[in-house]
Amino acid sequence: MTHAATTTSTRQRRRRAGPARLTALAASGLGLLLGTGALLGAGPSAAAAPSGPSAAGPSAAGPGTAHCSLTGRHWTAQARVDRARTERFAAYGNSGVGWTGGDSTYSVPLPAHRTAWLFSDTFWGPVNADLSRPTTVPFLNNSFVVERGGDLRTVAGGTPEAPDSLVPPDEPGTWNWLGAGQATPASLDVMFLEFGRTGSGPLDFAWRENKLGRFDPDTLRPREVVPMPSAAGVQWASWLLRSGGFTYVYGVEDLGLTKYMHLARVRGTDLASGRWEYWTGSSWSPTETDSARVMPGVANEYSVSRWHDGYLLVTHDTRELFSSRILAYVGCSPTGPFTEAATLYTTPETGAAGSYADADIFTYNAHEHPDLRRGDRLLVTYNVNSLDPNADLYDDVTIYRPRFVEVKLVPGRHR
């Protein structure tokens, strides 16, 4: 993990990256916060079988028609760092074999007791002995890390000598950031967001379209990439939820400093069926442009999962810039409304007063991993980045890695 003395000394070198990496890293570091585009994708997923925390359960009715025990009461969060998983990823990243850092951090349970961790922008090895990284290391826009029995291995495109993104760009000046994923009996399905350059500046880029990538569930090699609905300006990649015979697809309308939740659904699990329906605020419509804003204040990545007899929304608080707060909301239906319940965690890395003592460091895109809950303890991840990525992320490999937190929500009195 990060040690302040190491961080301070290595950062004094202020290494600089090549032109391509300057563009990619500046974009990923600032786009999320300033609205030049969404930073990466989505949320974790459900298992292939309809059991566990993402399976059918509470009512899928609209606002005002569902009731549950979660709303109308106070909640208290008890959080602690999941040191075992945090240290496992740190040790693997420090080894310099494959993945050495990334963000998004979604998880999908796979057959044979495996978990696929899905990452968007990804640094490859090697790592220097002082925990800096050479400026010549490969930089990918999407990758997987497979966990089995505590062991980790990287899955990427290309070759070990010349790695590439699992889903490379279709044309020059574009790239694909991944989003939510789910396992089906036939494939691992992952939502992707295509972005493209709009000018020569580091923040001159924009979202272009949504895609679905299908991967072999055994080898995790891509089988096909197909277009997804993209007519409403909504990035349909924030989260996938199975409930009541539907797969709910959560998205974000990213207007910069304000971001809105949107919601679609598909009967069954085939996201490529073409039979999407969109929540209008009161009913479901087959027309994408009828999609309504569910609520403001969500991040580009967030989670909505079954919890007790209702639903739990976990998101970074985007109502304030560079927020360190991870919030929990509760609701009785996949469509909401969602009521703020508690601050789950305050990220210690953020800003000049944070653990890196660096005003450029920020945290973002928290979400839950419902298939990795331990009893009543939630597993929440968030990402760490820098507003000066082309110096900080090369000087200190520990910054650009996921953090893992276990949280227990304790109910209090009714309001």
3-class DSSP state of 87: helix
User: Residue 368: which H helix or E strand, with range?
Assistant: strand 361-368
Q: How many domains does the chain have?
A: 1
pTM over 0.85: yes
Residue 20's pLDDT is what?
Answer: 39
For residues 139 and 59, what is the distance between their CA atoms, to the nearest angstrom?
43
N-to-C CA span, the chain: 41
Give me the domain span that covers residue 268: 4-414
| Side-chain half-sphere exposure of 348, counting CA atoms within 13 A | 9
Cα–Cα distance for residue pair 219/187, rounded to 1 Å: 10
Sign (positive or negative) of CA dihedral 292, 298, 300, 301: negative
Q: Distance between CA atoms of 391 and 386, rounded to whole angstroms?
A: 9
Q: Is 35 left (phi over 0), alpha (psi -120 to 50) or beta?
A: left
Calculate the CA dihedral of residues 190, 177, 165, 230 and round it to 10 degrees.
70
Tokens, residue 15: 């290494």
**What string of pLDDT tens digits covers the 415 residues of the chain?**
333 333 333 444 444 444 334 444 444 544 555 554 433 333 322 333 333 333 334 444 454 458 999 999 989 999 999 999 999 999 999 999 999 999 999 999 999 999 999 999 999 999 999 999 999 999 999 999 999 999 999 999 999 889 999 999 999 999 999 999 999 999 999 999 999 999 988 889 999 999 999 999 999 999 999 999 999 999 999 999 999 999 999 999 999 999 999 999 999 999 999 999 999 999 999 999 999 999 999 999 999 999 999 999 999 999 999 999 999 999 999 999 999 999 999 999 999 999 999 999 999 999 999 999 999 999 999 999 999 999 999 999 999 999 999 999 999 877 6
Q: What is the CATH number of the domain that holds 321?
A: 2.115.10.20
At 258 the pLDDT is: 96
**Distance in angstroms (rounded) separating the CA atoms of residues 253 and 300:** 8
